[in-house]
Amino acid sequence: MKQIGKYINQNEIYLLGIILVYSIVVTFKSSGFLTLENFLDVLRGSSGMIILAMGILVVLLSGGIDLSFTAIAIFGGYASARLMIALGVDNLAFAFIVSALIGITLGAINALIIHFFNLPTMIATLGTSSLFSGIMTTFIGTKTITVGMMPKSLTSFGGTRLFQMVGETGNTYGLSVFIIPVVIIVVMTWFIIYKTMLGRGVVALGNSVEAAKRSGFNLFGIRMFVYTYVGFLAGIMGVIYVAEVNAIYGTALYGTELTYLAAVVIGGAKLTGGEGKIFGTLLGVIIVRLLNSTLVFLGLTSSWNGFFTGAVLLFSVGLTSYISRLRSRRNLTFTD
């Protein structure tokens, strides 16, 4: 058990239990749920959320809260698609580069505002979220891009599979190519957090700004990295989202910020900073995605999504707090 504890904490064990129990319940209700086809479909639909969750995790580890990532994602995805159409460029790499550069630029704006004006991160990014949305709708537009208008490279990317199989009903399914950027970004985030001095600086900043400063970390550099990184990932997610839905409108994704944030917090990341894990974040995303996509198997409407997500969020936060208190008592330290 001690060996297992090195790789998975108690909160993650409970999350795995929730996923297992919920999957069993849904399977009893609908035998069509626990199939490879459905699993691959859930994985494809979770790709964008996983990518954004990695960026949100880094922000939370630094002690910040970003509410502008969905605005950045839709800005990058929509603007890159519109630019491709306007210039007659039908190249997937072009879309990713343009969207990522937009994300990095907008993330840098967040970092500059937060650092030099010393504003609370949640207030600052809530303001920039509206600012970015306003810039896009005013100067780029909100015209809906339908599947017939979409560049072929994007629609092809959305439908590409690494391997393909035929189901019992004759329909084809397989592992989406989206898994490639997902794996790359998860591994890259893991490496940055756990294997670099920059990652140590992010965690140090989340634990104590003053202690991080006294330890010699460059607070401006760390904040610039944190918000440009989440901006970069939001830009990547924007292109994947466009390719996934095969259509896009200027106000897509707005209002979903708290759902993404909840997934990371459910995974064990602390809103106060300094604590969070890659594996827990992935479990949090899986739980939220399962709740959003499988309630229909239980005969429930989508209006129940918020109820169940909120219940799991409260359970996870309460459990994390309880475990933290137990750890403090074992270490003979007491917190309010």
Give domain status of residue 323, yes or no. yes
Q: Which two tokens stand for residue 141?
A: 């537009």
Task: Determine the pLDDT at residue 290.
Answer: 84
CA end-to-end distance (rounded Å), the chain: 30
Q: Which two tokens stand for residue 76?
A: 């990058």
- Cα separations (Å) of 170 from 49, 96, 159, 163, 165? 29, 34, 17, 16, 9
Give domain status of residue 72, yes or no. yes
CATH code where residue 201 lies:
1.10.3470
290/209 Cα distance (integer angstroms): 37
Between CA 113 and CA 120, with CA 119 as vertex, the angle to 5 degrees is 125
User: Total domain count for the chain?
Assistant: 1
Task: Determine the pLDDT at residue 333.
Answer: 53
Give domain status of residue 335, yes or no. no
Give domain status of residue 107, yes or no. yes
Burial of 182-214, coded b for 16+ CB within 10 Å and e otherwise, reads: beebbeebeebbeeeebbbbbbbbbbeeeebee
pTM of the model: 0.91
Mean pLDDT, consecutive 10-residue stretches, the chain (336 aa), reads 58 85 82 78 90 96 95 94 92 96 97 94 95 90 83 91 76 87 96 95 94 92 97 96 84 84 89 90 90 75 74 76 71 54
Q: Which two tokens stand for residue 30?
A: 């609908």
Cβ contacts of 256 within 8 Å, gap of 6 or more? 70
Give domain status of residue 200, yes or no. yes
Task: Determine the pLDDT at residue 167.
Answer: 66
Give domain status of residue 155, yes or no. yes
Task: Determine the pLDDT at residue 98.
Answer: 97
- Cα separations (Å) of 53 from 74, 133, 310, 328? 16, 21, 17, 28
Classify burial at 311, counting beta carbons within 10 Å of its beta carbon; exposed 0-12, middle 13-18, buried 19 or more: exposed
Task: Determine the pLDDT at residue 223.
Answer: 97
Give domain status of residue 336, yes or no. no
Whole-angstrom Cα Rg for the chain:
20
Task: Determine the pLDDT at residue 251.
Answer: 75
User: Domain of 114?
Assistant: 2-330
Give domain status of residue 289, yes or no. yes
The three-class DSSP label of residue 175 is: strand
Burial of 58-93, coded b for 16+ CB within 10 Å and e otherwise, reads: bbbbbbbbbbbbbbbbbbbbbbbbbbbeeeeeeebe
